[in-house]
Chain A
Amino acid sequence: MMDKRVPDVPAALADVQDGAMVLIGGFGESGSPIELIHGLIDQGARGLTVVSNNTGNGEVGLAALIKAGRVAKMVCSYPRSSNSKVFPELYRKGEIELELVPQGTLAERIRAGGAGVPAFYTPTGAGTVLAEGKETRDFDGRTYVMERAIRADFALVRAELGDRFGNLTFNKAGRNFGPVMCMAAKTAIAQVRRFVPAGEIDPEHVVTPGIFVGRVVEVPEPAQESALIEQGVSYP
Chain B
Amino acid sequence: MSDKTRTGLSRAQMAWRAAQDIPDGAYVNLGIGIPELVADYVPAGREVVYHTENGILGFGPAPEPGQEDPDLINAGKKPVTLLPGAAFFHHADSFAMIRGGHIDYCILGAMQVAANGDIANWSTGAAGAIPAVGGAMDLVAGVRNVLVITEHTTREGEPKLMERCSYPLTAPGVVKRVFTTFGVFDVTASGFLLQEIAPGVPVEQVRAATAAPLAVADSLKEVAAPQPEKAAAHV
- Interface residue ranges, A against B (CB under 8 Å): 27-31, 53, 77-81, 87-88, 91-92, 98, 100-108, 110-111, 122-130, 170-180, 207, 224-226
Contact = CB atoms under 8 A, between A and B. Distances in A.
Contact of B94 (A81, A107, A127, A225): A107
B99 A122 contact: yes
A227 to B, nearest CB: 9
Contacts, number: 141
Contacts of B131: 79, 98, 100
Contacts of A53: 91
B36 interface: no
B55 A176 contact: yes
The DSSP consensus for interface residues of chain B is loop
B90 A77 contact: no
The prevalent SS among residues of A at the interface is: mixed
B69 A105 contact: no
B233 interface: no
B169 interface: yes
Nearest to A110: B92
Interface residues of B, number: 39
Contact of A226 (B70, B91, B130, B171): B70
Contact of B73 (A28, A77, A130, A170): A28
Given A77-B133, A124-B137, A174-B71, A104 B171 contact: no
B29 to A, nearest CB: 12
Nearest to B56: A173
B138 interface: yes
